[in-house]
Amino acid sequence: MIRDLTRRPIFAYARPVTVNGREERRRYGEYEIETVLGKGSIGKVFLARHRRINRRVALKVIDSEQRFEDDSDRDEFYLRLQREAELCGALQHPNIVTLYEVGYENDVVSYLATEYVAGESLQARLKRTRPLPLREALTLAADILRGIAYAHTHGIVHRDIKPANILITTDGRAKIADFGIARPQESSLTGINSLLGTPNYMSPEQVKSTPVSNRSDLFSAGVVMYEMLSGVRPFAAAELSGVLFNVVNLEPPLVSDVNPAVPVAVARIVARLMAKPPSDRYANAGEALSELEALPPAKTSGAPGYATIAVTPSGPESEATTPLPTIVDEQDADLAADNRKGSEEPATVRTGISRIFTRDVPAVVFWPLTLSLLVLFAVTVLFMQSRIRQQKPAAVITSQQAAVAQEKRNQLAAARAFVHAGRYDEAIRRYDAFLAQYPENMTAQDERNEAQALLDKSKRAGTQVTSTSKAHSRTPKKKPSRWERLKHWVRGQ
């Protein structure tokens, strides 16, 4: 166990500093606080600087007012912190956040000084862009698998791989953070009958509270890759119980069906990582990484808009590993070809076009006309601004309403993906579940009816359907007119 062998007071208290309207300690040990980086369930994370060696760190300070149900709960909490300190201290890898120092007070962990990653989390990156560009997603996926593979070779299972625990450096490299619920593979601490992790990214064995192996991290990594490549969470549901049920029972469509820009070869890797039985997944993260890096530098079927996958290095660790896939966009190649084709036009054509746009205009005509246009433009801008001020303010959409709207779009996208894949019965089941929550949604009703018609047509043609939808048809007795659809749409807003 890591201890301060000097046994000197670990908190050299200095004058307090006000952060967000509240006084905070300015110094913890040798670390001086600069600003707040975030707040978690067990305390705050500060940007701090070591006053002797001038190194900046992310200082995770444990809340001294943490409440516990009983002594055993408190002991379990501090054992997890001690385990995180011991595990992170043993891991030194470019794709894992480095632990520098552990602070103790009264013989329990009081803070962790870890590597400060100047960048953002994958969670923040996904909030800005969904899905991620293919090359970026594959680069980050390879980094994540490298970090997981290194941890597994040291006998450590992370058990909480998710976008919030993946940090992206300024040069685009991924680093795995927060080993707070990680454990050695042979440990009995927080083992069976305890549900630890984040529901949307948990493996089926975590949901069922059965023994967890390194393949549980592979399942979570597959879910993260699915979200990066498609922009949707494969097991999302309105309630926690629905998420847990989907993790154990739902087979999501291939990520290439949701986002056609993803090569089928990549989609198959993600699907194998997310296999329900652990035995059907890759044996280890290194095997999945090797298959990802071995993608051929040739035209990939099922990936419109992306022509080739070439091999290029990524990050300093790439010197000892196979380089990452690089995606070349067909649209850029087409644009370059068009530019070359344009340069081969006859000189007479180019001369005629340039002559039209370079014709001399007398100053006596040019300046009055230009000033008139400027005045007209200024008057128009002032008029529009006055009209905007007179209008009533638009309704403010809350974050909860935005989340509900995004969830609606995700559910409809998943249903459409099944229609696109020819699995009409599953699409109808998805539409029925959606309409049970939002019966007034005319778009979903129309798409559900179209899926039912395609299913009936495939049955008549003798096409074998994987399963039969048990939901009752929601076909309206009379198809609404365009005016009625507009009224329904206005009400929905």
The residues annotated as belonging to the active site are 160
Percent helix, strand and coil across the chain, each rounded to 5?
45, 15, 40
| Cis status, amide bond into 131, omega within 30 of 0 | yes
- Give the 3-state secondary structure of residue 411: helix
* 8 A C-beta contact, residue 172 and residue 138: no
Question: With b meaning 16 or more CB within 10 Å and e meaning fewer, what string describes 157-186?
Answer: bbbbbbbbbbbbbeeebbbbbbbbbbbeee
CA gap 349, 355 in Å, rounded = 10
- DSSP output for 156-221: EE-----GGGEEEETTS-EEE---TT-EETT--TT-TT---S-GGG--HHHHTT----HHHHHHHH
CA gap 83, 1 in Å, rounded = 9
| Count of C-beta atoms within a 10 Å radius of residue 288 | 25
CA distances from 70 to 45, 66, 75, 77, 110 (A): 26, 12, 9, 11, 19
* 8 A C-beta contact, residue 45 and residue 60: yes
Question: What pairs with residue 45 in β-bridges?
Answer: 38, 60
Question: With b meaning 16 or more CB within 10 Å and e meaning fewer, what string describes 452-483?
Answer: bebbeeeeeeeeeeeeebebeebeeeeeeeee
- For helices 264-273 and 285-293, the axis angle rounded to 10 degrees is 180
